[in-house]
C-alpha cells in the first residue's frame, strides 16, 4: 500500500452503527494499529453519535494527509434528518451514494481498498437497489460476473463461504448447480492465495442434506451436484474434501483440517462463523480486482445512538483489507497472479 492511499470506508446506513464504529476505530487507531482510512458519508451521522474531531476532506489523498487531525470524511449529504435507529429513504440513498463513491475511488486507484459499512437490505430494496447485497453490487461495478465472486466470512479460526447467499432458503437447493458450486469453490481457493497468502489452500465442502445425504437416502444433491463439482476442482489440482456432513465440520479439531469451508447456503456458513467470531468477523469479497471487506455485523438499529456498538469487527475489516492489499502487492512483485497453486 503506497503512503498516500488510505482505505475508503463507506459509512453505510446513516441511522445504523456504521458511523459510530468507524469513529471509534479512528479514536483507537494507535492502540489497534489501524491503517489510514477515509470515511465517505454524511458527517452529520457521525456528529449524531460522537463528539470527537471530524476533518471534512475532498479526496482520499487529502484524507490521508489530515488523518491525525480528525476522522476524515468525504461528505455525501443525506437529504433528510438523521436519527440514529430510525432509517429512512433519504438515508438509504446516502448509503447507496457513499458505497458508489467508495468503490469508484478504489477502482480508480485513489484508495488502496474499500471497506463497506453496514447497510439495510430492506431500505436499499425499497429505493430500487436490484442487487441481493453489496457483494453483487461491487462485483458488477468491477465487471465481474456474480457467480465468479464469493462472499467469505473470516475470523481467527474459521473462514466460511456460502455458495448461495441472499435468497429464500426454499430456493437454495434449486439454485445449486455443478458450475456454481465449482466456481464458488474456485473463487474461495484463489482468494485464499491472493488475499491470505496461503500457498496450498485446503477447502472442505459441506453437503446440503443431513449427514451429507446419507448416500442418497436423505437427498441427492451431494451425488448429483456437490460431488461432481468437487471432482472438477480436484481435476484442476486443488486440495478439496467433501461433501462432508455440515454438523460435524465446525468443531475445533475439524476446523484445523481446512483453510476454508464451502457451505451450501447463507446460514450454514454464517451461523458457525458468527457463533465463534461475531465481534471480529470480516466479510471479504473474493474474485474482485480490488480488495473489499466489511464487518460481519449489520446496521444494529436497535442499539444505534446508544454508544453500545463494538468497533472490533470494523477494525478487523480494516486490518484484513490492508493485509489483503499487501498480499496481492507481494504476489504481483513476485510476478504471480495467485490464480492457481504455484502460479
Ligand atoms: N455488511 C452489511 O451491510 C450487513 C448488513 N446487514 C443488514 O443489517 C440489518 C440488520 O440485521 P441483523 O440481522 O439484525 O443483524 P445485526 O448484526 O445488525 O444485529 C444483530 C444483533 O447484534 C447486535 N450487534 C450487531 N453489531 C454489533 C456491534 N458492533 N456491537 C454490539 N452489538 C452489535 C445488534 O444490536 C443486534 O442485537 C439487516 O437489514 C441486514 O440486511 C446484516 C449483515 C451484514
Ligand atoms: N450476511 C452477510 C451480509 O448481509 C452482507 O452482505 P453484503 O451486503 O456484503 O453482500
**Contact status, residue 145 vs residue 139, Cβ threshold 8 Å:** yes
- With the most atoms of ligand 1 within 8 angstroms of its CB, the residue from 153, 297, 313, 317 to mutate is 297
Same domain, 303 and 279: no
| 252 CB near ligand 1 (under 6 Å) | no
> At 15, phi and psi to the nearest 5?
-95, 0
Looking at the chain, the whole-number percentage of residues with pLDDT higher than 70 is 99
**What predicted TM-score, i.e. pTM, was given to this entire model?**
0.97
Q: Is residue 122 marked as binding?
A: no
Q: Whose CA is nearest to atom 35 of ligand 1?
A: 300
| 195 CB near ligand 1 (under 6 Å) | no
Inform me whether the pLDDT recorded for 163 exceeds 90.
Answer: yes
- Please compute the mean of the pLDDT values over residues 139-165 and round it to a whole number: 97
Beta bridge partners of 260: 203
| Counted domains in the chain | 2
Q: What would the pLDDT profile of 96-119 be if each residue is shown by its tens digit? A: 999 999 999 999 999 999 999 999
| 175 CB near ligand 1 (under 6 Å) | no
Cα angle: 6, vertex 274, 24; to 5 degrees: 40
**What's the full length of the chain, in residues?**
343
Same domain, 280 and 294: no
Q: Is residue 30 marked as binding?
A: no
- With the most atoms of ligand 1 within 8 angstroms of its CB, the residue from 300, 301, 309, 313 to mutate is 300
| 131 CB near ligand 1 (under 6 Å) | no
Same domain, 213 and 302: no
| 283 CB near ligand 2 (under 6 Å) | yes
Same domain, 189 and 260: yes
Last residue of a domain, one of 287, 308, 327: 287
Same domain, 112 and 160: no
| 77 CB near ligand 1 (under 6 Å) | no
Q: What is the pLDDT of residue 342?
A: 84
Owning domain of residue 302: 1-144+288-343
Q: What would the pLDDT profile of 250-265 be if each residue is shown by its tens digit? A: 999 999 999 999 999 9
Same domain, 11 and 39: yes
Same domain, 157 and 120: no
Inform me whether the pLDDT recorded for 4 exceeds 90.
Answer: no
Same domain, 4 and 123: yes
Q: Is residue 292 marked as binding?
A: yes
Q: What is the pLDDT of residue 341?
A: 87
Q: Which DSSP string corresponds to 178-224?
A: HHHHHHHHHHHHHHHHHHH--SS-EEEEE-SSGGGGTTTTT-SHIII
In the 8-state DSSP scheme, what is residue 117? P
Q: What would the pLDDT profile of 165-195 be if each residue is shown by its tens digit? A: 999 999 999 999 999 999 999 999 999 999 9
Inform me whether the pLDDT recorded for 53 exceeds 90.
Answer: yes
How high does pLDDT run on average in the chain?
97
- Please compute the mean of the pLDDT values over residues 64-71 and round it to a whole number: 97
Q: What would the pLDDT profile of 127-136 be if each residue is shown by its tens digit? A: 999 999 999 9
Last residue of a domain, one of 257, 272, 287: 287
Q: What kind and span of H or E run contains 55?
A: strand 54-56
Beta strands 7-10 and 37-41 are parallel
Inform me whether the pLDDT recorded for 2 exceeds 90.
Answer: no
Same domain, 182 and 151: yes
**Contact status, residue 113 vs residue 291, Cβ threshold 8 Å:** yes
Q: Is the ipTM of this complex over 0.95?
A: yes
Same domain, 238 and 191: yes
Q: What is the pLDDT of residue 3?
A: 57
Same domain, 55 and 154: no
Report the chain's terminal Cα–Cα distance, integer Å. Answer: 22
Q: What is the rounded distance in angstroms from the CA atom of residue 157 to the CA atom of residue 252?
A: 8
Same domain, 59 and 98: yes
Of 253, 183, 173, which is closest to residue 213 (Cα–Cα)?
173
Question: What CATH number is given to the structural domain containing 158?
Answer: 3.40.718.10
Ligand 1 atom closest to residue 311's alpha carbon, by position in its atom list: 29
Q: What would the pLDDT profile of 190-225 be if each residue is shown by its tens digit? A: 999 999 999 999 999 999 999 999 999 999 999 999
Per-residue burial over 100-121, b = 16 or more CB atoms within 10 Å of its CB, e = otherwise: ebbbebbbeebbbbbbbbbbbb
Q: What would the pLDDT profile of 20-51 be if each residue is shown by its tens digit? A: 999 999 999 999 999 999 999 999 999 999 99
Whose atoms come closest to the Cα of 118: which ligand? 1
Q: What is the pLDDT of residue 1?
A: 45
| 233 CB near ligand 1 (under 6 Å) | no
Longest dimension (CA), the chain: 64
- Please compute the mean of the pLDDT values over residues 262-275 and round it to a whole number: 98
Amino acid at each position: 500500500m503506497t503512503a498516500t492511499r488510505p482505505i475508503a470506508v463507506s459509512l453505510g446506513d446513516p441511522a445504523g452503527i456504521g458511523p459510530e464504529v468507524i469513529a471509534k476505530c479512528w479514536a483507537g487507531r494507535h492502540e489497534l494499529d489501524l491503517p489510514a482510512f477515509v470515511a465517505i458519508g454524511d458527517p452529520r451521522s457521525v456528529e449524531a453519535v460522537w463528539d470527537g474531531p471530524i476533518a471534512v476532506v475532498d479526496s482520499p489523498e487529502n484524507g490521508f494527509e489530515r488523518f491525525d487531525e480528525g476522522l476524515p470524511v468525504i461528505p455525501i449529504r443525506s437529504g433528510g434528518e438523521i436519527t440514529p435507529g430510525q432509517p429512512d429513504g433519504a438515508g438509504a440513498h446516502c448509503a447507496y451514494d457513499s458505497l458508489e463513491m467508495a468503490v469508484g475511488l478504489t477502482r480508480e486507484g485513489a484508495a488502496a481498498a474499500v471497506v463497506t459499512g453496514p447497510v439495510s437490505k430492506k431500505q436499499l430494496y425499497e429505493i430500487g437497489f436490484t442487487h441481493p447485497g453489496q457483494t453483487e453490487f461491487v462485483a458488477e461495478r468491477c465487471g465481474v460476473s456474480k457467480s465468479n465472486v464469493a462472499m467469505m466470512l473470516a475470523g481467527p479460526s474459521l473462514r466460511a463461504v456460502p455458495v448461495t447467499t441472499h435468497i429464500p432458503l426454499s430456493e437454495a437447493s434449486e439454485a445449486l448447480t455443478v458450475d456454481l458450486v465449482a466456481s464458488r469453490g474456485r473463487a474461495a481457493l484463489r482468494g485464499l492465495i491472493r488475499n491470505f497468502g496461503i500457498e496450498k489452500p485446503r477447502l472442505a465442502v459441506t453437503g446440503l442434506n443431513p449427514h451429507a445425504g446419507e448416500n442418497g437416502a436423505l437427498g441427492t444433491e451431494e451425488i448429483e451436484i456437490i460431488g461432481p463439482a468437487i471432482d472438477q476442482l480436484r481435476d484442476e489440482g486443488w486440495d478439496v474434501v467433501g461433501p462432508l456432513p455440515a454438523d460435524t465440520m465446525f468443531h475445533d479439531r475439524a476446523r484445523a483440517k481446512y483453510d476454508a469451508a464451502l457451505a451450501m447456503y447463507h446460514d450454514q456458513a454464517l451461523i458457525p462463523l458468527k457463533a465463534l467470531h461475531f465481534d471480529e468477523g470480516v466479510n471479504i469479497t473474493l474474485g474482485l480486482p480490488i480488495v473489499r471487506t466489511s464487518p460481519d455485523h449489520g446496521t444494529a438499529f436497535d442499539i444505534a445512538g446508544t454508544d453500545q456498538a463494538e468497533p472490533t469487527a470494523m477494525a478487523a475489516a480494516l486490518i484484513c483489507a490492508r493485509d489483503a492489499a499487501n498480499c496481492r502487492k507481494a504476489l504481483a512483485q513476485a510476478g504471480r497472479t495467485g490464480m492457481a497453486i504455484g502460479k
